[in-house]
């Protein structure tokens, strides 16, 4: 909202989050090529992506400055919907293992 | 206050209730859109995961040069555009029109660069023989899932650039407010956020070794 009290201070205060987001993207590329995590790299990709998303939501999208009721009304419900989508995995593994050889 | 005015006030009291979250309805609507869009992208990424898990011959075609290098540059461009969008939102809140337009313009340029790099990546894949339902390496569904996910994201980027142009024009003419710039900013950050999941799941899980 337009606010005559708001004083423009430049983008300097967002630089730390920006740098962390760039570093986390670098970490993801490192995980892809390091090869030390083996099959666990998907889990690490997701952990890094979720941390990046949380930083973007809290600081870039200013969720941190909103009322906590706003956060609790919206985010857990969305996370619940996304978690429920995990039900598909058993079927995808079934397809893989029951494939005729 | 007359009785008729009191009745009218009682009738419209619901419409005049303060926002439960102390934010404008425009911003709440944008958040609700973003969350529904997150579920759309989530469903697409889960569908992609389903196909990848169920296909023993899933291709891993992305070489460091040019694909992953291109993706790294695209990521830097997109995250930087989020930073410049924050500049536009803050400048608009301070009613500084010239700075708002400058930051919005820079964000649009970065968005356009991202889209061009994305199309270059697509052209490279198509040149290598990837089509919606065929490719030279393995599972025929690779192309469909790759183009669906990255295509939907690219469409969001292009829509965002167009939205910024429209909102910037309206803001500079005084027909739109800083609230509109802020809502557009929320959308743009979401586009950035989705990319943080697309890169590892679609590209980095399929790097060529």
- What's the CATH code of the domain at B150? 1.20.120.80
Question: What is the distance, to the nearest Å, from the Cα of residue B134 to the centroid of all Cα atoms in its chain?
Answer: 28
The stretch B182-197 carries a mean pLDDT of: 98
Interchain CB distance below 8 Å, B204 and A15: no
Q: Which carries the bigger pLDDT value, residue A96 or residue A46?
A: A46
CA B110 to chain A, closest CA, distance in angstroms equals 15
CA A11 to chain B, closest CA, distance in angstroms equals 6
Interface predicted TM-score of the whole assembly (ipTM), two decimals: 0.91
Q: State percent of chain B over pLDDT 90.
A: 84
The answer to the question of residue B166 being in a domain is: yes
Range of the domain at A60: 12-97
The answer to the question of residue A2 being in a domain is: no
The answer to the question of residue A1 being in a domain is: no
The stretch B129-154 carries a mean pLDDT of: 94
Residue B62 phi/psi, 5-degree rounding, is: -80, 110
**How many domains are there within chain A?**
1
Enter the pTM of the model. 0.91
Range of the domain at B56: 24-206
What does the pLDDT read at residue A89?
85
Task: Tell me the C-alpha distance between A9 and A31, whole Å.
Answer: 36
Which residues of chain B have a CB within 8 Å of the CB of A91? 50
The answer to the question of residue B140 being in a domain is: yes
The answer to the question of residue A75 being in a domain is: yes
Residue B56 phi/psi, 5-degree rounding, is: -70, -20
Angle at alpha carbon of residue A86, lines to A82 and A87, rounded to 5°: 125
The answer to the question of residue B9 being in a domain is: no
Which residues of chain A have a CB within 8 Å of the CB of B20? 69
Interchain CB distance below 8 Å, A8 and B94: yes
């Amino acid at each position: 909202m337009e606010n005559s009290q708001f004083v423009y201070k430049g983008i300097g205060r967002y630089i730390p989050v920006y740098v962390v987001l760039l570093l986390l993207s670098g970490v993801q590329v490192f995980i892809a090529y390091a090869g030390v995590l083996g099959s666990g790299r998907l889990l690490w990709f997701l952990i890094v992506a979720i941390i990046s998303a949380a930083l973007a939501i809290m600081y870039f999208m200013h969720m941190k400055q909103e009322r906590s009721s706003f956060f609790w009304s919206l985010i857990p419900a969305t996370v619940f919907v996304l978690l429920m989508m995990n039900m598909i995995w058993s079927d995808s593994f079934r397809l893989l293992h029951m494939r005729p050889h | 206050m007359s009785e008729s005015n009191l009745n009218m006030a009682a009738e419209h009291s619901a419409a005049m209730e303060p926002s439960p979250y102390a934010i404008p309805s425009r911003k709440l609507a944008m958040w609700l859109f973003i969350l529904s869009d997150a579920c759309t992208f989530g469903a697409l990424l889960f569908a992609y995961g389903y196909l990848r898990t169920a296909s023993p011959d899933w291709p891993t075609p992305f070489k460091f040069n040019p694909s992953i290098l291109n993706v790294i540059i695209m990521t830097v461009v997109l995250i930087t555009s989020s930073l410049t969008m924050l500049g536009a939102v803050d400048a608009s809140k301070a009613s500084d029109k010239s700075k708002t337009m400058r930051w919005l313009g820079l964000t649009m340029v970065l968005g356009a660069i991202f889209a061009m790099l994305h199309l270059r990546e697509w052209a490279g894949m198509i040149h290598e023989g990837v089509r919606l339902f065929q490719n030279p390496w393995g599972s025929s569904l690779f192309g469909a899932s790759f183009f669906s996910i990255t295509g939907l994201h690219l469409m969001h980027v292009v829509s965002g650039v167009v939205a910024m142009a429209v909102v910037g024009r309206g803001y500079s003419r005084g027909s739109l407010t800083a609230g509109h710039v802020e809502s557009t900013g929320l959308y743009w950050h979401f586009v950035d956020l989705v990319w943080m999941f697309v890169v590892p799941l679609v590209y980095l899980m399929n790097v060529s070794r």
